Amino acid sequence: MSDSIDCLVIGGGPAGMTAAIYLARFHLKVRVIDAGHSRVTWIPRTHNHAGYPGGIPGTELLDKMREQAAEFGIEVEHGLVEHIEKQGDEFEARTAEGDVIRARSVLLATGVVNKGPPISPELHDVAMRRGLIRYCPICDGYEVTDKRVGVIGNRTHGYKEAVFLRTYTRDVTLIAPDTDIELSDEEHAKLDELGVERVGGPCASLRIEGECIVVPTPKGEMSFDSVYPALGSVIRSELAIALGAEGSEDGCLVVDDHQRTSVPGLYAAGDVVKGLDQISHAMGEGGVAATTIRNDLAEKMVLAR
């Protein structure tokens, strides 16, 4: 077991890397542990992240963040943190690889996992790279302007995504993942007004045909330029919840205006926190969290060189 560090950052996506850069530049001792599942790596090319005319692939953006962090001595360590416990004023974290880390503070930037449609993993990755499957209409709705778009979802989540995408194209179809779309009369009326078709499920395994993605349904096979799964997400907040941190109904961590969770010394930033799931937003929260961590630690000890 090594000596205590100032902050353990769990998650090496945009929120975690931004925080790590700030923390290192505050002359704090930091480690970043990342399991290698950041959603930013799914992005074929992001066009709404400022500063990159023509867009930038998610993997390249993440590489640049890590290259910048390395300038200040931060090397991302591949690993999976399985357990955290509070020991007095410090935390002890254990990884699947057998490492034990003691830290005066912990920042969770663990993100979320999107629930995907029925499709083989290999084909899913190909469809993602080609823009046939998309998960974030805020990020890339512009790219489906006037295209044929399918939304796989039901209830309010599917309804809201279909309505949002209708502002980009007239050709939107909402497809139930199960048997029924399960909408209210008011939601059905709104979709009628917008001209959004509804199709009952269940939808079978998706496949690629040429430049399109095909969704088999009981009504027949439907072909789209892009499909948006609106099936919810799994929030990677279990480490904090196990420590007693407050979470929302859907499992997102509740934080104050400075990214503090309800557990002293435990902070959270990015998609694991309830808010706008955007790269720029996650990076902003990472900067706020790092500055808060620095200031909170300074109240407990003298930070001097």
Could you tell me if residue 159 is inside a domain?
yes
With contact defined as beta carbons under 8 Å apart, do 199 and 224 qualify?
Answer: no
Domain that holds residue 213: 116-230
Return the pLDDT at 211.
96
- pTM of the predicted structure, to 2 decimals: 0.93
Q: What does each C-alpha distance from 58 to 14, 32, 118 come to in angstroms?
A: 10, 19, 24
Could you tell me if residue 2 is inside a domain?
no
Q: What does each C-alpha distance from 92 to 13, 29, 57 come to in angstroms?
A: 22, 15, 35
* pLDDT tens-digit readout, 171-194: 999 999 988 889 999 999 999 999
CA gyration radius for the chain?
21
- Pair (92, 165) in one structural domain: no
d(CA 132, CA 228): 9
- Pair (82, 133) in one structural domain: no
- Pair (54, 125) in one structural domain: no
Return the pLDDT at 180.
85
Which of 108, 125, 120, 28 has its CA nearest to residue 72? 28
With contact defined as beta carbons under 8 Å apart, do 189 and 170 qualify?
Answer: no
Listed as ranges, residues in the chain with pLDDT below 50 are 1, 304-305
- Pair (199, 240) in one structural domain: no
Could you tell me if residue 32 is inside a domain?
yes
Report the run of H or E that residue 284 belongs to, with start and end.
Answer: helix 279-300
**CATH number, domain containing residue 47:** 3.50.50.60
